[in-house]
Amino acid sequence: MDFMYHGANCISVADKHTRIVVDDNLNQIGGKSVLTKSDVALFTNRVNSSFSDNAKLAFSTPGEYEVGDISILGIQAQPFMNDDSGVRSVMYKLSTSDLSILITGHILGDLTDDQKELIGNIDVMFVPVGNNGYTIDPQGALKLIKDIEPNIIIPTHYASNKLKYPIEQIKLEDALKELAMEVSESTPKLKLKASDLTDVTRLVVLEEV
């Protein structure tokens, strides 16, 4: 699997046949959309799902989906910021024959036992760290990490020189200090297979592309 980070909470996960793009609202915050007509789009909240026009398929609700060789499980979650609409956030678990990936999105840091059971064992976890009332802070992210115990942690949604957030996010270096974890690797693209996993939990920084 190939993993790339495009800024905000936008990531792409790809195998030989399918590319999944998560939370591509980059056009709204001063960036450029990375979605193409051959992509599958996932949105962790329905507010951003209007940006799905360029995708082959788009999902923004809880449920079970299959795209190519990748199984997708959308798990309902409490959003970090509530509003009067009653809309909930969606976490996504992506499963292949040998890897499991979790994209948490902007959720509260507390998981129910039912959510934990649905999530199960996770190899790679993407978690926001930007704080300032927009998404969870590093301490909230750390709580999720301890609850889920992924093998690889990849932070998202921190301050960017390329994007203009409506609420300024904290810098990655500041978030990493609060996480109290050393970066094991920094790369523009993470290529991963099951045999690359170790018994040691690792924090990987995907450079914004």
Query: Over the chain, what HEC string results?
Result: CEEEECCCCCEEEECCCCEEEECCCHHHHCCCCCCCCCCEEECCCHHHHHHCCCCCEEECCCEEEEECCEEEEEEEECECCCCCCCCCEEEEEEECCCCEEEECCCECCCCCHHHHHHHCCCCEEEEECCCCCCCCCHHHHHHHHHHHCCCEEEEECCCCCCCCCCCCCCCHHHHHHHHCCCEEEEECCEECCHHHCCCCCEEEEECEC
CA dihedral 118, 77, 52, 73 (to 10 degrees): 10
pLDDT at 50 over 70: no
Residue holding tokens 């802070």? Answer: 137
What are the CA-CA distances from residue 61 to residues 9, 74, 94, 137, 196 (Å)? 17, 7, 14, 25, 32
Residue 105 near residue 127 (C-beta atoms within 8 A) = no
In angstroms, rounded to a whole number, what is the distance separating the alpha carbons of residues 197 and 163? Answer: 32
At 51 the pLDDT is 61
In angstroms, rounded to a whole number, what is the distance separating the alpha carbons of residues 50 and 78? Answer: 21
The CATH architecture to which 62-206 belongs is 4-Layer Sandwich (3.60)
What are the CA-CA distances from residue 110 to residues 79, 102, 136, 144 (Å)? 11, 15, 11, 7
pLDDT at 48 over 70: no
Tens digit of each residue's pLDDT (9 = 90 or more) over 184-196: 999 999 999 999 9
Enumerate the β-bridge partners of residue 71.
66, 95
At 209 the pLDDT is 93
* Percent over 90 (pLDDT), the chain: 84
CA angle 20–67–30, rounded 5-degree value:
20
What average pLDDT is seen over the chain? 92
CA angle 135–41–106, rounded 5-degree value:
10
Tens digit of each residue's pLDDT (9 = 90 or more) over 78-129: 888 765 555 679 999 999 999 999 999 999 888 999 999 999 999 999 999 9
